[in-house]
């Protein structure tokens, strides 16, 4: 307690040899009402009431002076404050645990302020009926600090034993915001984010009650969706502000099995309910979400996606049509650029257009492209090789003939279906189904990333070209985002990484919002996570992932961050724009028919259940061969 002694006026020992400041705190505890310590700090010359002269504290004057703090907190009347209306109902007066300090401030620094907690008080609180008081002082819990007539709210980031005081614990805290103290009840009202007045060392620290949390997490009136309960309370609803969350992108992170996909479905369902004329596109690499959105969404997969190949821009064409690397690829790309432009120029739609480029989404015939390649090849002089032409042409022929690529390269897709395609994918109009699920699980893996690139780029380009129209913001949600926007180590310069990074940086100017879902945040491209204004983090088991998320989260959320490895399934920490202050939430249970189909198979049950294997293998082989699903 060396830090303390300099800041507090010298004080006579009270006889039991304990730290004098902690002793004062105990006396305040005996009096049952805060305020005492404050007096002592504010008027150092004032005579200090002595332990052996019990001060007549308001309301509790008749209590006998206790020998030790343990004795005080063991007094049953103090120990279980039970307001008649039940622990979580707003009560007019607060119980003893809520009004008795659990510690005091020892150090205030720009970041990393510290408080001294009294272990005995924490023990007493741990038996309180209010779950919020019960966790008082624990890592991730919230505490109130009295500053004049205001309350400061802070979250506890770390705890460590302080050997200089028996039962003393030093905890690092982060300030979350402040509110006023209600005159008669001492409760916190009018909470706001940020801190205007810092406490001085010695200020008293109290547990935040469920009532306080109700105040703090109450909606400020902006449009929001409720997704779960504020931890650790039994009934306080946790909400996400729709505009703030979607306006600056969001990320949903968590190890496998923590409930990410179900959490994502829950959030999207609630958003769809609140905004039935919305426009949401979900890229679903595992085909999980179709089960969840049969009623409120349009489900697209290879059987009905019908995405015309000519929507691809030049880079995307290269990813699909070119098979070479290095110098050879450059040669091939030059040839493809020339021939593709000629093929597009042949379209009736291109007539009279003076700005046609290889990137223009103008339909062309694949057969036109191959015959142009053929023509060009014929015009070559002896010295030039025809091999690059042959290479491209045979790749195109291969794609045309392969049934797995029909959803994109079918001869049926030559018509000008662009407006129709955009309308159905972006739900314009929504027609009661504001979300489209694009199940890319059946797309051959070598072109999955290009398919995602085309969809993402269309989203962005549509937003740019529709600027003169009424704004219709679009949310693009991407599961397994680390696959599509990988970090430098895994980067392959693919167009999907480029377009998603671009949307992350510029999307919000045009009303395109990004929702990135991943279990590997450390594999995400650098900078993408920090573009996400709202981070929803479920448990992350891996150190690197945790470090990555911490770096992307705002400072005030640090106290919550340290609980990320300890979260239970279906629990998350939310911080950033979408919430007024960081919050730990347990997601609501989502109705079964709204959950994604990600249920893990039960070996124990299924391996006890035989019959019908031969038929099922037969059917599987048939499907496999015909590539039908």
In whole angstroms, how close is the CB of 288 to ligand ADP at the nearest point?
Answer: 7
Using the contact rule CB under 5 A, the part of the chain among 91-99, 254-262, 301-309, 506-514 near Mg ion is 254-262
In whole angstroms, how close is the CB of 254 to ligand ADP at the nearest point?
Answer: 5
Residue 256, interface with ligand ADP (CB under 6 A)? Answer: yes
Residue 590, interface with ligand ADP (CB under 6 A)? Answer: yes
Candidate residues 150, 203, 209, 261; the one interacting with Mg ion per rule CB under 5 A = 261
In whole angstroms, how close is the CB of 596 to ligand ADP at the nearest point?
Answer: 6
Q: How far apart are CA 186 and CA 622, in angstroms?
A: 72
Binding mask 212-251 for Mg ion (x = CB under 5 A): ----------------------------------------
Using the contact rule CB under 6 A, the part of the chain among 31-39, 257-265, 377-385, 551-559 near ligand ADP is 257-265
Residue 456, interface with ligand ADP (CB under 6 A)? Answer: no
* Residue number with CB closer to Mg ion (261 or 296): 261
In whole angstroms, how close is the CB of 375 to ligand ADP at the nearest point?
Answer: 52
Candidate residues 30, 141, 233, 261; the one interacting with ligand ADP per rule CB under 6 A = 261
Residue 21, interface with ligand ADP (CB under 6 A)? Answer: no
Residue among 463, 465, 474, 464 at smallest CA distance from 434: 474
- The label of the residue with tokens 């008795």 reads 100
Candidate residues 262, 360, 456, 459; the one interacting with ligand ADP per rule CB under 6 A = 262
Residues 6 or more apart whose CB falls under 8 angstroms from that of 288 comprise 261, 479, 596, 597, 598
* Residue 587 partner contact from Mg ion, ligand ADP, none using kind-dependent CB cut-offs of 5 to 8 Å: ligand ADP
Helix (H) / strand (E) containing 12: none
Six token digits for residue 199: 């406490």
DSSP 106: E
Candidate residues 31, 214, 483, 570; the one interacting with ligand ADP per rule CB under 6 A = 570
Q: What are phi and psi of 446, to 5 degrees?
A: -70, -15
Using the contact rule CB under 5 A, the part of the chain among 183-191, 256-264, 400-408, 544-552 near Mg ion is 256-264
Residues 6 or more apart whose CB falls under 8 angstroms from that of 119 comprise 167, 168, 169
For residue 193, list its beta bridge partners. Answer: 177
Candidate residues 61, 276, 599, 618; the one interacting with ligand ADP per rule CB under 6 A = 599
* Residue 116 partner contact from ligand ADP, Mg ion, none using kind-dependent CB cut-offs of 5 to 8 Å: none
Residue 254, interface with ligand ADP (CB under 6 A)? Answer: yes
In whole angstroms, how close is the CB of 540 to ligand ADP at the nearest point?
Answer: 11
Asked if residue 152 lies in contact with residue 173, where contact means CB atoms within 8 angstroms, the answer is no
User: What sign does the dihedral 100-103-109-112 (CA atoms) show?
Assistant: negative
Q: How far apart are CA 629 and CA 620, in angstroms?
A: 9
* Residue number with CB closer to ligand ADP (50 or 594): 594
Residue 522, interface with Mg ion (CB under 5 A)? Answer: no
* Residue number with CB closer to ligand ADP (383 or 605): 605
Per DSSP (E only), the strands in 285-361 are 297-300
Six token digits for residue 210: 């469920």
Site for ligand ADP, residues 66 to 95, rule: CB under 6 A: none
Residues 6 or more apart whose CB falls under 8 angstroms from that of 384 comprise none
DSSP 568: P
In whole angstroms, how close is the CB of 597 to ligand ADP at the nearest point?
Answer: 9
Residue 262, interface with Mg ion (CB under 5 A)? Answer: no
In whole angstroms, how close is the CB of 476 to Mg ion at the nearest point?
Answer: 18
Candidate residues 589, 602, 616, 620; the one interacting with ligand ADP per rule CB under 6 A = 589
**Widest Cα–Cα separation across the chain:** 112
Residue among 7, 42, 35 at smallest CA distance from 21: 7
Residue among 49, 24, 21 at smallest CA distance from 162: 21
* Residue number with CB closer to ligand ADP (16 or 599): 599
Using the contact rule CB under 6 A, the part of the chain among 137-145, 255-263, 441-449, 488-496 near ligand ADP is 255-263
Q: How far apart are CA 163 and CA 91, in angstroms?
A: 38
Residue 594, interface with ligand ADP (CB under 6 A)? Answer: no
* Residue number with CB closer to ligand ADP (256 or 384): 256
Six token digits for residue 373: 């390649």
Residues 6 or more apart whose CB falls under 8 angstroms from that of 166 comprise 18
* Residue 564 partner contact from Mg ion, ligand ADP, none using kind-dependent CB cut-offs of 5 to 8 Å: none
Candidate residues 91, 138, 258, 450; the one interacting with ligand ADP per rule CB under 6 A = 258
Where b means 16+ CB within 10 Å and e means fewer, 551-584 reads ebbeebbbbbbbbbeebeebbbbbbbbbbbbbbb
Q: How far apart are CA 300 and CA 540, in angstroms?
A: 31
* Residue number with CB closer to Mg ion (261 or 513): 261
Give the number of residues written for the chain. 629
DSSP 143: E
- The label of the residue with tokens 């671009």 reads 502
Using the contact rule CB under 6 A, the part of the chain among 89-97, 142-150, 419-427, 595-603 near ligand ADP is 595-603
Candidate residues 167, 247, 257, 554; the one interacting with ligand ADP per rule CB under 6 A = 257
CA-to-CA dists, residue 194 to 113, 152, 155, 203, 532, angstroms = 15, 9, 13, 18, 21
Binding site for ligand ADP (CB under 6 A): 254, 256-262, 266, 570, 587, 589-590, 595, 598-599
């Amino acid at each position: 307690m060396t830090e303390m002694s300099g800041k507090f006026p010298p004080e006579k020992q009270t006889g039991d040899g304990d730290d004098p400041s902690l002793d004062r705190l105990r006396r305040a505890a005996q009096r049952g009402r805060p305020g005492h310590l404050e007096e002592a700090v504010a008027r150092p010359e004032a005579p200090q009431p002595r332990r052996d002269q019990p001060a007549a504290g308001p309301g509790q004057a008749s209590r006998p002076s206790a020998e030790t703090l343990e004795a005080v907190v063991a007094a049953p009347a103090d120990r279980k404050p039970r307001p008649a209306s039940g622990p979580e109902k707003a009560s007019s007066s607060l119980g003893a645990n809520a009004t008795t300090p659990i510690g005091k401030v020892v150090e205030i620094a720009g970041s990393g302020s510290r408080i001294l907690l009294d272990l005995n008080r924490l023990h007493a609180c741990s038996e309180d009926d209010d779950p919020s008081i019960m966790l008082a002082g624990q890592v991730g819990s919230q505490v109130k600090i009295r500053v004049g007539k205001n309350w400061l709210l802070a979250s506890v980031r770390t705890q460590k034993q302080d050997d200089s005081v028996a039962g003393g614990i030093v905890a690092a805290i982060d300030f979350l915001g402040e509110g006023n103290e209600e005159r008669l009840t001492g409760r916190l009202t009018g909470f706001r984010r940020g801190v205007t007045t810092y406490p001085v060392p010695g200020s008293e620290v109290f547990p935040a009650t469920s009532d306080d949390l109700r105040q703090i997490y109450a909606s400020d009136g902006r449009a929001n969706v409720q997704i779960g309960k504020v931890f650790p309370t039994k009934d306080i609803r946790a909400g996400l502000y729709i505009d703030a969350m979607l306006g600056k992108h969001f990320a949903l992170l968590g190890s496998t099995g923590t409930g990410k996909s179900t959490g994502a479905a829950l959030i999207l369902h609630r958003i769809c309910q609140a905004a039935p004329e919305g426009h949401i596109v979900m890229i679903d690499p595992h085909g999980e979400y179709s089960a969840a959105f049969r009623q409120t969404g349009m489900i697209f997969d290879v059987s009905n996606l019908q995405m015309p190949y000519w929507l691809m821009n030049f880079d995307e064409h290269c990813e699909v049509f070119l098979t070479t690397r290095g110098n050879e690829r450059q040669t091939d790309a030059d040839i493809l650029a020339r021939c593709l432009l000629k093929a597009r120029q042949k379209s009736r739609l291109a007539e009279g257009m003076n700005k046609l480029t290889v990137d223009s989404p103008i339909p062309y015939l694949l057969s036109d492209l191959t015959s142009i390649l053929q023509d060009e090849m014929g015009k070559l002089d002896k010295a030039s090789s025809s091999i690059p032409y042959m290479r491209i042409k045979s790749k195109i022929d291969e794609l045309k003939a392969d049934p797995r690529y029909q959803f994109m390269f079918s001869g049926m897709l030559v018509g000008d279906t662009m407006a129709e395609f955009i309308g159905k994918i972006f739900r314009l109009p929504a027609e009661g189904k504001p979300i489209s699920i694009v199940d890319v699980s059946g797309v051959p893996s070598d072109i999955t990333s290009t398919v995602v690139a085309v969809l993402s780029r269309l989203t962005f380009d549509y937003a740019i070209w529709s600027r003169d129209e009424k704004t219709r913001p679009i949310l693009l949600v991407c599961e397994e985002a680390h696959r599509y926007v990988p970090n430098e180590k895994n980067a392959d310069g693919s167009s999907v990484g480029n377009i998603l990074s671009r949307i992350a940086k510029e999307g919000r100017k045009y009303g395109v919002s990004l929702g990135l879902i991943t279990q590997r945040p450390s594999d995400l491209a650098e900078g993408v996570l920090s573009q996400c204004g709202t981070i929803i983090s479920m448990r992350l088991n891996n150190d690197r992932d945790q470090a990555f998320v911490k770096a992307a989260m705002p400072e005030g959320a640090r106290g919550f961050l340290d609980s990320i490895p300890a979260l239970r399934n279906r629990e998350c920490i939310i911080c950033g724009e979408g919430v007024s202050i960081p919050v730990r939430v347990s997601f609501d249970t989502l109705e079964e028919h709204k959950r994604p189909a990600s249920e893990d198979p039960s070996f124990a049950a299924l391996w006890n259940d035989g019959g019908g294997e031969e038929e099922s293998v037969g059917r599987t082989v048939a499907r496999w061969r015909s590539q039908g699903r």
